[in-house]
Structure 1
Amino acid sequence: MTLHYYQKHAQDFFDGTVNVDMTPLYEAFTQYLTHDARVLDAGCGSGRDAKAFHEMGYQVDAFDASSAMVELARQHTGLPVQLMTFSEIDGKAQYDGIWCCASLLHVPSSELPAVMQRLADALKPGGVWYVSFKYGNGERVQGERRFTDLDEEGLRELLGAVPAVVIGSLWVTEDNRPGRDEVWLNGVLKKASRCGVDEVENVRM
């Protein structure tokens, strides 16, 4: 159902998201990256963020599950965006940073723990991981799309199944798109280094 939506409405979705200013979110993520970091944009949509990271000088891989979105993202970024799903991720300690902006929210809650573990496995020790979900609790269908909404407690509970990953910071933002009044939960996660980490969670509203 959700995939069909993006196939059918790819151009409209691209046009509505490609020019959104994401600068504050980029800064919250990239402050932990070295200049030559390798970044995965997982569920890249329009390719907006993959292009931004590429222009910052990072090595960027990107994928999306919609072939229509992949084609638009390839055209927009000039990058070899892959057609794949979260369940196909099989890398081990490949990335310094993983970016999941409004993409994991379409994964059914029953599948999220396994998907989160796959992504955690693909992240290098000491790596950083940005996630965002529509703020709430539970699964719902809106129009032609299925959503898994999370609040702070829901994300903490989810990460209980991924012991190598801890929360660095959580904060709530409003949607930047014109005419949208949605609220988003944002999280910067950290993967334990080989020597271990002792992160203190920072929650801000």
Structure 2
Amino acid sequence: MARSSSGIVAGLTAVALAAVGFLAYQASATAPAKPAAGAPQQQQPAAGAPAQPTAPQAPGKPGPVPENSGTGTRVVYSVGQKRVWLVGAAGTEPRSFAVMPSTVHPKPGSYAVSSRSGAVTGSDGVAVEHVVRFTLSEGVVIGFSARADGQMPAPDPAKKTGGIRMSRADGDALWNFATINTKVVVVP
């Protein structure tokens, strides 16, 4: 007894959807659910710290690396300034660039890069590249990435997303700088 073509299409569609779901599950399973033993501790936000990021810093030369961001080689992410600094060896000028925060924000504190992916689908369903993950907040993996299409729109406020987006050029720079265990400091 021959199957109808609509039955075959429905079956193939179901198999394809199951495969995509499985791959999405595998990608999300690679992010740690909680910090490993000995990982840097997260700090609670200071009283009165902003819950949402404020307007990005004015164009032009970026401000200095925030004073309360620690020392040594590190990635500094200011939620309020919507800005990242790549702080290298002493005496070198840090690279700084504007970012588009996600809808779920990491708490201020010190973290370490826990995983990286060259190209995946982001929590908002968009193809992203150079993903550098460093924490989990509200059940959402938080990390830096660049959209493969080069855009940086504001995230949908109705969705819980964790991708802190940047231009593709800045994403390349962060990818080359922030390897596994690189310190990431989040400031308000």
**Fold agreement, TM-score > 0.5:** no
**TM-score, normalised relative to structure 2:** 0.24
Instruction: Give the TM-score normalised by structure 1.
Output: 0.22
**Structure number with higher helix proportion:** 1
Which of 1 and 2 has higher RCO (CA within 8 Å, sep 6+)?
2
Structure number with bigger Rg: 2
